[in-house]
Structure formats: C-alpha cells, structure tokens
Amino acid sequence: MDKELLKKRAGEKAAEWIEDGMLVGLGTGSTVYYFIEKLIHLCKEGLNITVVSSSIRSFEQAQKGGIPTANMNTVTQIDITIDGADEIDCQKRMIKGGGGALLREKILANSSKEMVVIVDESKVVEKLGKRALPVEILPFGYSATIEKIQVLGFRGEMRTTNEGKFYITDNGNYIYDILFQELRESPEEDHDRLIHVPGVLETGFFFNLAGRVLIGESSGNLKQLDK
Ligand code: 5RP
C-alpha cells in the first residue's frame, strides 16, 4: 500500500481520539498534515477544540482551516499531542526532528497528558540511529559547538536549504544532523553527552514521552500500541 495512504490512515485514526473541549498539541510533518486536515473537517462539523502548534507550518495549516489556536506561552498543560517520528523502537524511544521542529515538539510532548505518535511502518526500527539525529544548536559560536560535538566522537553535517544556506528553525537556530556510523546501543548516553555541550539546545532523541502509537502497515492494517 502507498506510504502516503498509510500516513493518512494513521493521521485520520488519531483524529478520532480528539474530544470536545480538548487543548490539542499539533506536531509537524507529512503524517501530522493528514491529522490536521481531518481535524479541520471535524471542526467544521462541530468539534470544539483549541490547538497549539509545534511549528509555523502546522499553525498556518490549522489557522487557515479555521481551527481556534492558542499561544503556547499562555499554556501549561495540553490534553493530547499528536506527532510523527523519524524512527521509533519497541521501547517507544524515538528520533525526531526530520522536519526541523524538534525543540518545540519536545516542549509540547513534555507538557501533554499524552503524546500520540503516528507513523507508517518504515519508521519502526529495532535500534535507533540509521537516520540522522537532528541537534538544534545556537547560531552564536556554532563552529565551536560543532567542534565540541565532534570531540565527543560524533560526526555530522549542518542542515542546509535547497539554496545552500544554513537551515533556520522556527526558533532562529541551526540544525546539525549527526550521522551515526553504527546503530545506537545506548541512545540515552548519546543524548546525555550531547545535551551538556554549551550551544546544544536540544537533541532529536525522545524518551519516555510516547503514549499510544499508531502504525500504518503496508498490509493495510493499522496497528495500535497502547500507552
Ligand atoms: C518534525 C518531525 C516529524 O514528526 C518527523 O520528521 C516525521 O515526519 P513525517 O511524518 O513527515 O515523516 O519530527 O520535526
């Protein structure tokens, strides 16, 4: 089955879990896109919710679709956040940030009663680390920050735009994509080492945050992992 259809199925199923009165966190990415489209539809039919967003992109999609939005600066707790992932293992540890929104996504997930993860089956892995690990870094002194990351034994590349300029996150920062030589035995240790480098704002490792997970399988089945 077509991957886009798998993403759409997972996104639309997650929308069924949204209830009247909820404050909903919007993740970012092509899978979340389908979730937001379904939410727009449900809101037009009378669903009464408010959303906060992890990116300008998701915010604009929701706002254009007429979903009431709230400013995250006025919020301390979100009822449910729906987000995608670049990789997820059987302990629900994830790599996120392929879409560049990792820092805001982690703030939303961490402020939510539940983070629901929606993926197609290509994202499910035995061990994390095949895909790049995005690390959001402060532009100030970025060369020194990268040097420190490299001294720790990590190698990677600055994320760039199609025009060859540094990619800038919604927070005005850069992303350094770490390319691992081997699959990760202990991603928690990797995270701990990276997060202590001054200038590193966040890594794309997400631990102990995912609740229910919806996996669109190529057989057409939608697999659900419970909280
Ligand atoms: C954005 C993310 C996305 O959730 C992740 O990249 C998955 O995206 P997609 O659903 O497009 O595959 O972390 O920062």
What pLDDT digit, counting tens, does each position of 56-109 carry?
A: 999 999 999 999 999 999 999 999 999 999 999 999 999 999 999 999 999 999
Residues 73 and 89 in one domain: yes
Q: What is the per-residue pLDDT across 32-46, written as a single tens digit (0 to 9) for each?
A: 999 999 999 999 999
105, 163, 185, 217: which one is catalytic?
Answer: 105
Q: Which residues line ligand 1 (CB under 6 A)?
A: 27-31, 83-86, 96-102, 105
Kindly report the three-state secondary structure assignment for every residue of 192-215.
HHHHCCCCEEEECEECCCEEEEEE
Residue 123 is predicted with a pLDDT of 98
Residue 1 is predicted with a pLDDT of 76
Annotated binding site for substrate: which residue ranges? 28-31, 83-86, 96-99, 123
Please report the beta strands in 106-207, taking only residues with DSSP state E, as ranges in sequence order: 112-120, 133-137, 156-158, 174-178, 200-203, 205-206
pTM assigned to the model? 0.97
Residues 118 and 8 in one domain: yes
Residues 115 and 159 in one domain: no
Residues 189 and 217 in one domain: no
182 is a catalytic site residue = no
What range does the domain containing 191 cover? 133-204
CATH (domain of 89):
3.40.50.1360
Average of per-residue pLDDT across 140-149: 98
CB 174 within 8 A of CB 137: yes
* CA of 82 relative to ligand 1 center, distance in Å: 11
Token pair 């794309």 is found at: 204
Residues 34 and 90 in one domain: yes
Counted domains in the chain: 2
CA distance 85 to 99: 10
